[in-house]
Chain A
Amino acid sequence: MGCTCNSNDKEKLFCSGVLVDNRPGAILPPQEAWEKKKGGYVVIECPQRIPCNPCATSCPTGAVKPFADINDVPSIDYEKCTGCGLCVAKCPGLACFVVDLTYGADEAVIKLPYELEPKPAKGQKVKCLNRTGEEVSEGEIYTVTEPLKDQTTVVSVVIPKKLVGEIRAIKVVC
């Protein structure tokens, strides 16, 4: 496998809230379809069974499949996902993202939830952070919306395509 990290370290990271591999509730979309999907697919990172289901109840197409039990982790029907991003705004855990790989040859767009000040503006350059808050690249704000008018801003950021598996937050510098 060529993995050099100690599996103990990986679990330690996961135990402190950092996703280290794909697992139920935290998976990536099927690669081939994802590369062609204009508008992108949802990427949810919610690997723990907790009593919570707004992602499913807010999804207008049923792409986030209805929960049999409120404690289930989310599971996705990609055929139905339009990349609308309503779940991004609705999720209480800020665990939903939308990633569109069709933006450009080397660039992708990620929609992520943002609830800090200052708010970014369209066209602004921001720092892009990975799951441990390290700055891994720059990004450009594509759109800023507030779909549910409830102070959760959904920001679309243009990022390097090779970092779609890593970037999960932004830092706005004035």
Chain B
Amino acid sequence: MKKTIETDLLVVGGGAAGLCAAAEAAGAGAKVTVIESDLHPGGQLVKQTHKFFGSKDEYAGTRGYKIADILLDEIKSLGDRVDIRTNTTVTGYYPEEGIFTAMKGEDEYYRIKAKKTVVATGAQERLIPFPNNDLPGVYGAGAVQTLMNVYGVVPGKKVLMVGAGNIGLIVSYQLRQAGVEIAAVVEAMPKIGGYWVHAAKIRRLGIPILLRHTIVEAVGGKVIEGAVIQELDDKFQLIGEPKKIDCDVICMAVGLTPTTELFWQAGAKMQYCPQLCGHVPFRDNTMRTSNPDIWVAGDASGIEEASAAMVEGRIAGFSAAKALGCKVNEISFKEYWTRLDHLRAGEVGEKIRGGICQVLVDGWEA
């Protein structure tokens, strides 16, 4: 069954960035179609039980899953300008015809003709190499969150968390809230990568954070039954004795990588940028890529935070709506950039700033 969807603005991905882009563009009068591969919109927001940081504009002090509701309420208030299609995955972009293809379930296929598109496809969990890292029980941290926070399923009895960035620290706390024991958090670097306060709140619950430690192998026949960890020196060489850890889940929080296949297919100019955690498209300050009909927002533009994803979504939605001929208020554009700059201004934003300047262009010719 093949159907064609025609729309002003296609938003690929209904997460934090995508929903903000949709809300912004629809607010300016555009007809928007959001394609979301999960069974509900909200992306990573719906799994976040913790209160967000940032400022009031980014809903600081509000739990992540409530922010998803706030965005969906905003979209609902715009009447039927936004069509959110869940359980539908965009499967490709065909530059010769300028169309996207999408699939719902196993047998419904669509061609999508959009005047403009915001690609907000987010990111995916990375994995580090160690023997048996493919066994069932090695789960991405986001996946563990889906199990316990969205569907109320116990992920396991005892977890080894690999990685002490924000995700590793936050998910460890959430596991504890779900009643699951954490054997330890291992982090190869000499200090945690995430916010100090996230670490403090799990340390005081007795969860060990082992710095300069890594996982050397996962143990198990058909499923994970344990792990072996070991200390590293300052050259990341193994030292000391390997330690056996009992666990039935090894949670990987070792970083994310932007999901960018559609940009490659569209022939957008790309760059490998370590600070942004992978290949990302070049963009101008309207978040437009080298393809004049495609914008980028959120983690797909570079791994950052939910608050930045939301503001980038607003900027992309605003700019795509403007390109469609909708009436926009330029003051909003300036406001969004001010907010984004503030979020990135501190020490923790240094890495991001270093990355963005490698892929931000002053403008595109034509």
Q: Which residues of A contact B (CB under 8 A)?
A: 12, 15-19, 45-54, 57-58, 69-71, 90-95, 115-117, 129-134, 150-152, 168-169
A–B complex contacts, Cβ < 8 Å, 21 sampled: A16-B192, A17-B202, A17-B209, A45-B200, A47-B196, A48-B197, A48-B348, A50-B195, A52-B55, A57-B55, A69-B345, A70-B343, A71-B346, A71-B347, A90-B51, A93-B195, A94-B197, A117-B179, A131-B204, A133-B207, A134-B206
| Residues of B contacting A: mostly | mixed
Closest to A15 in B: B191
Chain B 94-114: CB-based contact to A (< 8 A → 1; otherwise 0): 000000000000000000000
Query: Bound complex: CA of A17 vs CA of B205, how far in Å?
Result: 12
How close is B172's CB to chain A, nearest CB, in angstroms?
Answer: 11
In angstroms, Cα B256 to Cα A167, docked, is 35
Inter-chain contact B204/A129, CB cutoff 8 Å = yes
Of residues 14 through 55 on chain B, the ones whose CB sits less than 8 Å from some CB of chain A are 50-55
CA distance A92 to B201 in the complex (A): 11
A139 to B52, CA, bound (A): 31
Which one, B56-64, B239-247, B326-334, B354-362, is touching chain A? B56-64
Chain B residue numbers with a CB within 8 Å of A129 are 204-206
Bound complex: CA A167 to CA B53 (Å): 25
Given A16-B191, A17-B199, A93-B53; A51-B206 close (CB under 8 Å): no
- Among A46, A47, A115, A133, point to the contact of B206 (Cβ < 8 A): A133
CB <8 Å contact, A70 and B51: no
| Residues of the B chain whose Cβ atoms lie less than 8 Å from the Cβ of A47 | 196
Q: Do B52 and A92 have beta carbons less than 8 Å apart?
A: yes
Complex CA gap A132/B207 in Å reads 8
- Residues of chain B from 58 to 107 with CB closer than 8 A to chain A in the complex: 60-61, 63
Determine whether the beta carbon of B211 is less than 8 Å from that of A133.
no
The answer to whether B196 and A48 have CB atoms under 8 Å apart is yes
Q: Decide yes or no: A93 and B206 within 8 Å by CB, A15-B211, A17-B192, A71-B345 being known contacts.
A: no
Known: A15-B211, A17-B196. A49 touches B204 (CB 8 A): no
Taking the nearest CB of chain A, how far is it from the CB of B317, in angstroms? Answer: 22
| Smallest CB gap from B185: residue in A | A16
B residues contacting A by CB (< 8 A) are: 50-56, 60-61, 63, 164, 169, 176-177, 179, 190-192, 195-207, 209, 211, 307, 342-343, 345-349
- Residue among B51, B176, B204, B343 facing the most chain A CB atoms (10 A cut-off): B204
Contact (A15, B346) CB under 8 Å given A52-B54, A131-B204, A133-B203: no
Evaluate contact between B348 and A50: CB separation under 8 angstroms.
yes
Cα of A70 to Cα of B339 in the assembled complex, Å: 10
A46 to B198, CA, bound (A): 10
